[in-house]
Structure 1
Amino acid sequence: MLWTILGWIVLGLVAGFIARAVVPGKDDIGIVRTILLGIVGSFVGGLLASIFTGFSSFSPSSWIGSIIGAIIVLVIYNKVTGRKAVGR
């Protein structure tokens, strides 16, 4: 159980940092929100993968799905909160 939780935290951290690096502009959301962003992005990416492929598993493609999900969640978060408008 502990390793599962630590795995989600590490996956969330990596996916969240990559999403923050890919989406243009400066993010000042902190490490906890970055981890949460990555974890929620993992769920979104996993959901999308299961919809389009019919299965989900832990593989390199799940990391890619997590990153894509985190990017989607970060863009939605920025739109909803009004943060980080491009060009500011």
Structure 2
Amino acid sequence: MGIIWTILVGFVVGLIARAVMPGTQSLGIILTTLLGIGGSLAASYIGQAVGWYRAGEGAGFIGAVVGALLLLGIYGLVTRSRSGGD
């Protein structure tokens, strides 16, 4: 049941990150879900490195959205550089 909950929360976080980020992102459902899950993992790792979270403690919902926004920005930079910089 835990994996299903992670996927659902990741999908919601990915949707929120896509809604907040300006511009258009052409991501499907799977990439949106992976973006949310990855954002949560990134926020947890960065938060533990900085000292905001203890070891083994996951990021909160807002932290996951911020992490997903960070990943979405990186994704946008990578895909823009592949398409010739337009």
Taking structure 1 as the reference length, what is the TM-score of the superposition?
0.80
Look up the match of 1:57. Answer: 57
What is the alpha-carbon distance in structure 2 between the residues aligned to residue 21 and residue 36 of structure 1? 16
Structure 1 segments unaligned to the other structure (5+ residues)? none
| Percent identity between the two aligned chains | 38
RMSD of equivalent CA atoms: 1.9
Distance in 2, Cα, partners of 1:7 & 1:15: 12
Q: Is the 8 A contact 2:40 2:64 kept in 1?
A: yes
Distance in 1 (CA, whole Å) between partners of 2:5 and 2:46 is 20
Query: CA deviation digits over 1:60-81, x for unaligned, max 9?
Result: x611111000000000001011
Matches within 5 A, 1:64-75: 64-75=62-73
In structure 2, stretches of 5+ residues that fail to align are none
Of 44-53 and 10-19, more deviation after overlay is shown by 44-53
TM superposition shift of 1:54: 4.2
Cα distance in 1 for partners of 2:3, 2:11 equals 12
Residue matched to 2:42? 44
- The answer for the alignment partner of 1:34 in structure 2 is 32
How has the CA–CA distance of structure 1 residues 50 and 26 changed in structure 2, closer, same or farther, with 3 Å as cutoff?
same
Runs of 4+ displaced beyond 6 Å? none
The CA deviation at 1:57 is 3.2
Q: TM-score, normalised by structure 2?
A: 0.82
